């Protein structure tokens, strides 16, 4: 499943990215091929292939409460669907 996330945070982009990068091994348990883009100093966009949606829900339910208060973190999550052309 392809997903697009918009991460908003009150900390700096570099602080958020440091935490995101630090969770690489954890992310590998449920996703691959993630791409990150800086929108501005308090917003990032992430595109990823989710390989295990149930594991993602479990991990995020545990990890997000640990990091969200410090980073001022919020996510908007979207599922992407490929458009088939004729």
Whichever domain contains 68, its CATH number is: 3.30.70.100
How far is Cα 83 from Cα 68, in angstroms, rounded to an integer? 34
Q: Is residue 31 part of a domain?
A: yes
Question: Where does the chain show beta strands of DSSP type E?
Answer: 2-8, 31-40, 43-50, 74-80
Q: Is residue 71 part of a domain?
A: yes
Q: Is residue 85 part of a domain?
A: no
Q: Is residue 72 part of a domain?
A: yes
Identify the band that residue 82 occupies on the pLDDT scale cut at 50, 70 and 90: confident
Domain count, the chain: 1
Percent of the chain with pLDDT over 90: 94
Q: Residue 43 is encoded by which pair of tokens?
A: 């917003």
pTM metric for this prediction: 0.87
Q: Please give the residue range of the domain that contains residue 53.
A: 2-79
Q: Is residue 86 part of a domain?
A: no
- Sheet of 74-80: strands edge to edge? 31-40, 43-50, 2-8, 74-80
């Amino acid at each position: 499943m392809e997903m697009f996330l918009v991460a908003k945070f009150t900390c700096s982009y570099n602080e958020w990215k440091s935490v995101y990068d630090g969770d690489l091994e954890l992310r590998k348990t449920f996703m691959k091929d993630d791409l990150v883009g800086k929108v501005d100093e308090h917003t990032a966009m992430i595109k990823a292939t989710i390989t295990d949606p149930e594991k993602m829900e479990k991990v995020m339910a545990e990890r997000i409460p640990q990091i969200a208060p410090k980073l001022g973190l919020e996510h908007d999550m979207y599922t992407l669907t490929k458009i088939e052309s004729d």
